[in-house]
Chains A and B, each alone.
Chain A
Amino acid sequence: MRRQAILALLAAALCAASARADDAADEAPLRTLQMTPSPWRSFRLTLDGYYRVRGDMFNDLDLSRGPSPSTGQPIFPLPAAGGNDHTITAADMRLRLEPTLEIGQAVRLHLRVDLLDNLGWGSTPDVLPSTSEPAFAATRAEPPETGINALESSVRVKQAWGEVTLPFGTLAAGRMGGLVSWGTGFFINNGDCLGCDDGDSGDRVALTVPVLGHYITALYELSASGPYVSNFGQDLDVERRAQVNTVALAISRVRSTDAQLRRLRSGRTLVQYGLLASYRRQDLDAPGWTQPGGLTRTFGPNDFVGRGLQSFAGDLWFMIHHHGLRAELEVATVLGQIDDATNAPGVSFRGPITSKQVGGVASLAYSFEWPIRLRVEVGYASGDDAPGFGNRIANGQLTTQPGDLDGPQARPPVDYSIDNFRFSPDYHVDLILWRRILGQVTDAVYIKPTVRLGPFGSAWHHITFDASVIESNSVYATTPPGQNSYLGTELDLQARYRYEAGFEIDAGYGLLFPGAGFRNIPLKLDPQTAQTLEIILAYRI
């Protein structure tokens, strides 16, 4: 009886509502709810970025140890005209603009645009392209133009993505930065630092939902589309199975920078952590797509190979900061398999290439009474027992031999594994060994104690000094060219002057005492001391 009454009331209410909608022509029309009323009157443009001028001098970074056997080249460029001077210099610039357009209260559009991106000083004089004028006749610098006087565009749009805050979370889509914004940066790195040259841009859709003080992010990335054709202005991926697809799920507890500062200043403990799991897959591949001419040719069934790539990546990060003590740990792994690693359609490997890689960074820092702060960092990157480090492979180098600095780590038919974990090249451990000679940390164990003094000065002008000693060893003695796991000890001195109005000078000097791992055994040459000097002028926005 009671139930019938409730239903009758509901029916009456529905009828009443319907009657109002039909009969209310003389009332004010209904409006839809607008989260962003009058968007064009309430947008806000903010701008981040910097202009960087960087100068380097590298002295004897080839360690005067002679060439690698497989490439016949020294491990670092030498003066091209010969002679005994082993000094190389570099000077470049970059203007990075990162505008954010906030439209109303919920929508944001982001850009990362690099202008004159790492353009070398003096690389585009007006005597280029080659004319009868010699270099010394240059009267001015010309703007770089791809294919005319430069190899890369003077304007490079590296990221562009949109973001909207929905009632249940944040939805972002486009070409954006790192998969996650937390962590030490050794595994995922957005390339934000002043000295960074790479970054982790990708084409992604990400949904982040706050749950119980955590952020849960689900993400899809189309890492590589495979061959495509243009059809009425739209690029069509001609083979869906050739796409490299990545999905990821992350959970983190990360506070904003301001919230972190507030918490620390109030004497409370700051705890942050994150966990990431990602899975990548590719069924087919058209090797010709990534080879010269691949963007313009057509593809048919005979151009594809059964790639069968599957890989899993996991990353765990934890950080605790209490008063002057800060401890941080991050561990990552990559496990995977490539059923057929061939780059020639019609020719297949009979066995898969497998990968089991682990890397990690742990650090402990303590701030004593001003101005001293001590920090110790330990890093590990799993190795592969093949000769060479496996970071950069020279053109035409198909295998490695003892004595090589680098080269492929899988060497069928005797070696089907690639087990060396590689740190992000934007994670800088030092100034010489990993940064410039090897390019990134891999197959390594290192320890890096650092003493920091400062900041000295005022709130507007201050300078900080860092002194670090980095001792590095390889995991496998078969990896370094000298067939010895001791790679060397490096002393790095760095000073940072900062003017809070938006200017910064970073100066660094590095001195590497290379170990027996760089001995050139066939030529019986011991590696010699290397040094570098780097100065960065940064005009911050």
Chain B
Amino acid sequence: MRIKLGSLALCLVLSGCFGSAPPAGGDDGGFGRAPDLAPLCSGNNDGVIAASELSFPIGATVHYLDNPPGTTVSVDPTGTMTPSGPEWDLSSTAGQVVPLTIEPIAGKWFAASFPGATYATTSDVASGTLGIFRVAPEALYLLGFASEKPNQTLLVYSAPVASLRFPVKLGDAYVTGAQISGGTLNGQPFASTDTYRISVDARGTVILPYLRFDNTLRVHVELSQALPGGVAVTHIQYLFFHECYGELGRMVSNPGETNPAFTTAGEFRRLAL
């Protein structure tokens, strides 16, 4: 139960949106055309992510590498300090490829419970539980969670949780939260009070197997879940965001982690590029 709840925390799947081909032009000395990395949206590489620099194309599928559910993996969320800032090495190719799709809400069994929702996407890989989001000019809101199959899991927040506030920039920090009451988790009644402490605490470079992403923002999330009976669960997450490419990766601690520089993660996700 705790592991599942932990992985149901802040869930963002953004478009890893490789875009159109380079414009037609003259011969570049016989090189032909190199692969295009221009994203669908037009970023300005300023290290600040505006709302227009994240897109959520319904139906798009992004492939991530993830450690198998139930396993742990060594991570280094602190990274290596370089003259240009921290460098986070996410280049490990271990794990399994997980396709995550930005799904439409219309037609889903839980659609009526989330009015105004924009999309849903898998938030817990092991169970397939979906996170439901609303995209607004000022923030990306997490509205709750639901299972793909009807009547198994339905957790609706009492108020939208601003998982990202636009523009996302270094130094941002805020506390938000909401309650789940009368919810259902795997067919069982469920309630909790969730508190998110979110800060954009670093700006640096993410290394993937064959790509470097400069001006990446690290979003630090501390989630405290108060369950009935006085039980409290905490998690620490680091999410790495880049304009137009969205979430490059994440490191999620095991439940009860208190060390911000934890080295063992319950989940280590990164773009499978």
Instruction: Name A residues whose Cβ lies closer than 8 Å to a Cβ of B.
Output: 223-224, 244, 246, 280, 287-288, 290-292, 302-303, 309, 311, 313, 334, 336, 338, 341-351, 353, 355, 357, 390, 393-399, 408-413, 418, 420-422
Tell me which of B27-35, B128-136, B143-151 binds A: B27-35
Instruction: Name B residues whose Cβ lies closer than 8 Å to a Cβ of A.
Output: 18-23, 25-39, 42-46, 207, 209-215, 242-245, 273
Give me 9 A-to-B residue pairs in the complex whose CB atoms sit less than 8 angstroms apart, sorted by A's number. Answer: A223-B26, A309-B31, A346-B215, A348-B211, A350-B211, A393-B21, A398-B36, A409-B32, A418-B32
In the complex, A411 Cα to B23 Cα: how many Å? Answer: 18
A439 smallest CB distance to B (angstroms): 12
| Choice from B23, B25, B43 contacting A344 with Cβ under 8 Å | B43
| Choice from B23, B26, B214, B243 contacting A291 with Cβ under 8 Å | B23
A427 smallest CB distance to B (angstroms): 13
In the complex, A347 Cα to B22 Cα: how many Å? Answer: 15
Q: Known pairs A302-B46, A311-B30. 5 more at Cβ < 8 A?
A: A303-B44, A346-B243, A347-B214, A408-B35, A422-B27
Chain A residues lying within 8 Å of B25, measured Cβ to Cβ, are: 224, 290
| Choice from A290, A338, A345, A347 contacting B34 with Cβ under 8 Å | A338
A8 smallest CB distance to B (angstroms): 63
Name the residue on A nearest B273 (C-beta).
A413
In contact, A422 and B32 (Cβ under 8 angstroms): yes
Chain A residues lying within 8 Å of B19, measured Cβ to Cβ, are: 396
| Choice from B30, B37, B207, B215 contacting A357 with Cβ under 8 Å | B30
Chain A residues lying within 8 Å of B33, measured Cβ to Cβ, are: 390, 393, 408
Chain A residues lying within 8 Å of B243, measured Cβ to Cβ, are: 346
In contact, B210 and A413 (Cβ under 8 angstroms): yes
Name the residue on B nearest A424 (C-beta).
B27
Chain A residues lying within 8 Å of B29, measured Cβ to Cβ, are: 246, 280, 309, 311, 313, 334, 336
In contact, A302 and B34 (Cβ under 8 angstroms): no
Name the residue on A nearest B23 (C-beta).
A290
In contact, A313 and B30 (Cβ under 8 angstroms): yes
A217 smallest CB distance to B (angstroms): 19
In contact, B44 and A311 (Cβ under 8 angstroms): no
Mostly, the B contact residues are loop
Chain A residues lying within 8 Å of B244, measured Cβ to Cβ, are: 344
| Choice from A338, A345, A395 contacting B20 with Cβ under 8 Å | A395
In contact, B44 and A398 (Cβ under 8 angstroms): no
In the complex, A410 Cα to B30 Cα: how many Å? Answer: 13
In the complex, A506 Cα to B242 Cα: how many Å? Answer: 57
In the complex, A121 Cα to B244 Cα: how many Å? Answer: 43
In contact, B210 and A349 (Cβ under 8 angstroms): yes
In the complex, A445 Cα to B155 Cα: how many Å? Answer: 64
In the complex, A334 Cα to B29 Cα: how many Å? Answer: 7
| Choice from B21, B35, B214, B215 contacting A412 with Cβ under 8 Å | B35
Given A290-B23, A350-B210, A412-B210, A309 contacting B37 (CB threshold 8 A): no
Q: Interface centre among B29, B37, B42, by most A CB within 10 Å?
A: B29
In contact, B34 and A344 (Cβ under 8 angstroms): no
In contact, A349 and B43 (Cβ under 8 angstroms): no
B19 smallest CB distance to A (angstroms): 7
Chain A residues lying within 8 Å of B46, measured Cβ to Cβ, are: 302
Name the residue on B nearest A305 (C-beta).
B45
A382 smallest CB distance to B (angstroms): 10
In contact, B207 and A350 (Cβ under 8 angstroms): yes
A407 smallest CB distance to B (angstroms): 9
In the complex, A341 Cα to B210 Cα: how many Å? Answer: 12
In contact, A334 and B35 (Cβ under 8 angstroms): no
Given A291-B38, A412-B35, A395 contacting B21 (CB threshold 8 A): yes
Chain A residues lying within 8 Å of B32, measured Cβ to Cβ, are: 355, 390, 408-410, 418, 420, 422
Chain B residues lying within 8 Å of A390, measured Cβ to Cβ, are: 32-33
B189 smallest CB distance to A (angstroms): 46
In contact, B30 and A422 (Cβ under 8 angstroms): yes
| Choice from A311, A346, A398, A412 contacting B43 with Cβ under 8 Å | A346
In contact, B212 and A350 (Cβ under 8 angstroms): yes
In contact, B45 and A346 (Cβ under 8 angstroms): yes
Given A302-B46, A341-B35, A410-B35, A346 contacting B30 (CB threshold 8 A): no
Chain B residues lying within 8 Å of A351, measured Cβ to Cβ, are: 210
Name the residue on B nearest A302 (C-beta).
B45
Q: Interface centre among B19, B23, B26, B35, by most A CB within 10 Å?
A: B35
Chain A residues lying within 8 Å of B207, measured Cβ to Cβ, are: 350
